[in-house]
Structure 1
Amino acid sequence: MRHIFRETWSGLRRNVSMTLAVIVTMWVSLALFGFGLLATQQVDLMKGRWYDKIEISVFLCTSVAQGTNCTTGEGTTDAQRAAIQEALESNPEVASVTYESKAEAYADFREAFKNSPILDSVTEETMQDSYRVKLKDPQQYQGVVSAVRSMKGVQTVQDLRAYLDPLFTWLNLLRWGTIGIAGLLLVAAALQITNTIRLAAHSRRREIGIMRLVGASNWYILLPFVLESLAAAVIGIVFACLTIAAVVKFVIIDKAQVSIQSLPWVDWTHAGVAMLWMAVVGVALSVIPTLLTARRYVKV
């Protein structure tokens, strides 16, 4: 083992510029790959909270929130509220209907904005009660909207997809764009590793020939090359994980969560999952090309 570690250290010193290039490329590509994974988890969190749970919101009239179906200065009556609920529950396109009172809406508001300065400016009376409508087929919503939009006591009908779809479209583009760029850089890193191993094998062809003559096994000859690429990959993985940790800490936890408290944000658990996949990809990307390349070039 002493000889293997000595050869590994010697190879790293002789190819220091190529090793640094591999480290930097692995660092940047794995960091972008990690950002793509975090973006994927962020989109899933937001969909889990909004997109998949709430399809249509039917807001009722209050003395403050008025519309064309509202009686001026008055809120929705009990009879109107019952008629709206009956129309929703009897609609064949509706899977479930959930009523949210003013008190429940106010409690949700206080939870979402518990650290916001606007909390004290809102009271329970200024909130609207509403119906949250889950559809059997989220794409078939027009019938439900048209059925209740003109009913007395309905202030407005809001299809959240109209607001959320553009956001998720851009987030998905960001996610796949980041992963795509990371993939190209990972390919570049694999090619750099291949070239580094090829040059290292060429520079050691004399030593490899001697080891062959004395009966050294394939693994004994290959292991220093594997350790060289693995050492560069591990350093790149560490730097990439530190980059992800810095973004999660200083951008998401310290800034985003404080500024936009109504959104669910990725945390250290999600960052840990991203780092784990970064480590797996980084190790595989260093070992596999090395074995494929070294087995070819160490044959003397």
Structure 2
Amino acid sequence: MRLQFVLSEIGIGLRRNLAMTISVVLVTFVSLTFVGAGALMQQQVSTMKGDWYDRVQVAIFLCTQDSLSASCSGAATDADKAAIEQALASPPLSQYVSEVEFETSDEAYAQFQQQDAELSASVTPDQLPESFRVGLEDPERFGVISESFQGSPGVEQVVDQREVLEPFFAVLNAATAGSLALAGVMLVAAVLLIGTTIRLAAFNRRRETGIMRLVGASSTFLQLPFLLEGVIAVCLGAGMAGAVLLLAVDRGVTGWLAEQVPAFDYITTTDVWATIPWLFVGGIVLASVASLVSLSRYLKV
């Protein structure tokens, strides 16, 4: 009997405040979509960082005949190359090194042609420096290699390839922060709208609530229909947000984007399914808090 009464009160409340309920659903949908998108973007950045930082190398560029570096007095000699190779294989450094590849000027020129055929036409192979490409066991220990070879005879410069990726990841992190900031604003709007909707519903049914108080109904029993109205509206918004995120990742990320830029590892719909429950949990908590705060004063009257 009590369950039937609670359900009927929920139906009455949703019908009386249909426009406000739809507003709550839409605001919740938008805000949780941005929350989910921000969380997935941060996960994507972490995935890409872990994958690419493991693959990046430290490049030890050797001097060419035209090098202007203070450590260069002409092209690197065979003795210079042998000293670098020996140092990389020595016990102090070998523990940090996973692999070493030597790239000749001709190989560097061939790679340059693949990247920019038009610009490479104005460059000759001997103008491109030879280099040692050093893979690290721990990419964070770049400083050990840099300090060991920077300024050494025959070495023009030591470059960590992560420096090329950092600006890209900085942009992604900024986009994530912007998405989460907008989501925060929308969540505040959702909380205020939920509170207003519940308060309006309580005001419209104040006579019925007063009668129920007189016959001994508990505060919990009085609050429950209003609380569930907000939870239902939020769950509808969370469900819509989850559906949009699933579609966006399935069609946009693992579909179109993965085909256009296959070099990266991307999040999948499995990651979205793992995120969706948290959208529901967060939405329900917000709806519950907003509803209880709005009703606490009303029920004390």
TM range, normalised to the smaller chain? Answer: 0.7 to 0.9
Q: Equivalent residue for 2:109?
A: none
Equivalent residue letter for 2:26: V
CA–CA distance in structure 2, aligned partners of residues 148 and 261 of structure 1: 38
Q: 1:229 corresponds to which residue?
A: 230
Q: Distance in 2 between matches of 1:94 and 1:286?
A: 57
Shift of 1:161: 2.5
- Judged with a 3 Å threshold, the aligned counterparts in structure 2 of structure 1 residues 276 and 81 are, in CA distance, closer, same or farther, namely farther
Distance in 2 (CA, whole Å) between partners of 1:85 and 1:205 is 85
- Provide the residue aligned with 2:31 in structure 1: 29
Q: Deviations over 1:165-191 (max 9, x none)?
A: 111111111111111110110011000
**Which residue identity lines up with residue 13 of structure 2 in the other structure?**
G
Aligned twin of 1:150: 154
Counterpart residue identity of residue 278, structure 1: L
Farther-moved stretch of structure 1 (274-283 vs 132-141): 132-141
Q: How has the CA–CA distance of structure 1 residues 269 and 145 changed in structure 2, closer, same or farther, with 3 Å as cutoff?
A: farther
Partner residue of 2:51 out of 49, 54, 62: 49
* Cα distance in 2, alignment partners of residues 149 and 264 from structure 1: 39
- Kindly indicate whether the alpha-carbon contact (under 8 Å) linking 1:149 and 1:157 is maintained by their aligned counterparts in 2: no
Shift of 1:146: 1.6
Are 2:285 and 1:248 aligned? Answer: no
Q: CA deviation at 1:86?
A: 2.6
Identity, % of aligned pairs?
35
Tell me the SS of whatever aligns to 2:282: helix
2:23, 2:153 → 1: CA distance? 62
Gaps of 5+ in 1: 103-127
Match in the other structure for 2:299? 298
Q: CA deviation at 1:138?
A: 4.6
Native 8 Å contact 2:101 2:133 kept in 1: yes
Match of 1:99 in 2: 99
Question: In the alignment, does 2:286 pair up with 1:282?
Answer: no
TM-score normalised by structure 1 residue count = 0.77
* Counterpart pick for 1:131 among 112, 115, 134: 134
- Give CA-to-partner distance per residue, 1:32-78, whole Å, 9 cap, x none: 001100111011011111236646234799xxxx9979xx9xxx98x
Contact 2:37 2:179 in 1 (8 A): yes
1:160–1:91 CA distance, 2 compared to 1 (3 A):
farther
Across the two proteins, how many residue pairs are aligned to each other? 265
Question: SS of the residue aligned with 2:263?
Answer: coil
Contact 1:99/1:129 (<8 A) preserved? no
Contact 1:205-1:298 at 8 Å conserved across structures: no
CA distance in 1, matches of 2:243, 2:153: 52
Residues 149 and 91 of structure 1, relative CA distance in 2, 3 Å threshold: farther
Q: Is the 8 A contact 2:96 2:141 kept in 1?
A: no
Cα RMSD for the two superposed structures: 3.3
Alpha-carbon distance in structure 1 between the residues aligned to 2:88 and 2:262: 32
Match of residue 105 from structure 1: none
2:196 matched residue in structure 1: 195
Structure 2 spans left out of the alignment, 5+ residues: 103-130
If each structure's helix is expressed as a fraction of its own residues, which one has the higher value?
2
Q: State the alpha-carbon separation in 2 of the partners of residues 249 and 175 from structure 1.
A: 19
* SS of residue in 2 equivalent to 1:130: strand
Query: Which amino acid in 2 is paired with 1:85?
Result: E
CA distance in 2, matches of 1:90, 1:140: 13
- The answer to whether the 8 Å contact 2:57/2:134 transfers is no
Structure 1 letter corresponding to 2:133: S
Cα separation, 1, equivalents of 2:179 and 2:153: 41
Could you list the structure 1 runs, at least 4 aligned residues long, displaced by more than 6 angstroms after superposition. 66-69, 91-94
Could you tell me how far 1:298 is from its partner in structure 2? Answer: 2.6
- Measure the CA separation in 2 of the matches of 1:19 and 1:41: 32
- Report if aligned partners of 1:135, 1:141 keep a CA contact under 8 Å in 2: no
Distance in 2, matches of 1:248 and 1:3, equals: 42
Change (3 A) 1:271 1:13: same
CA distance in 2, matches of 1:2, 1:179: 40
Alignment-derived partner of residue 18 in structure 1: 20
Give the conservation status (yes or no) of the 8 Å contact 2:35–2:179. yes
In 2, are the aligned partners of 1:197 and 1:293 still within 8 Å (CA)?
A: yes
* Contact 1:88–1:144 (8 Å) recurs in 2: no
Task: Note if contact 1:95-1:135 (Cα within 8 Å) is conserved in structure 2.
Answer: no
Deviation at 1:234, TM superposition (A): 0.7
Q: Which residue of 1 aligns with 2:88?
A: 88
Q: Which residue of 2 aligns with 1:181?
A: 182
